[in-house]
Amino acid sequence: MGNAPTSVTVTEAIRAMLSQVGVTWQVDALDPAAPSDRMKNLEYDLAAGSYAWIWEPDLVVTNL
């Protein structure tokens, strides 16, 4: 996860929900460039992403 305030808030909410069903989730707060590097190298168990805006509607489907 990134270390932006919104990312931290969402991550803490997810961690709380997972703990209610007995899942312990370790979260690494990373600098802004590190999450994309980990995703490219498949060094994660759970990831989420979003777009601040969408220039091209097909971007949501293709992610290109």
How confident is residue 2, by pLDDT bands cut at 50, 70 and 90?
A: low
Assess contact for 11 and 27: CB atoms under 8 A.
Answer: yes
How confident is residue 21, by pLDDT bands cut at 50, 70 and 90?
A: very high
Buried b (16+ CB within 10 A) or exposed e, 9-33: eebeebeeeeeeeeeeeeeeeeeee
Q: What is the DSSP letter of 3?
A: -
Residue 50 is predicted with a pLDDT of: 64
Instruction: Encode pLDDT of 46-55 as tens digits.
Output: 776 666 666 7
Q: pTM, whole model, 2 decimals?
A: 0.56
Mean pLDDT for 16-41 is 85
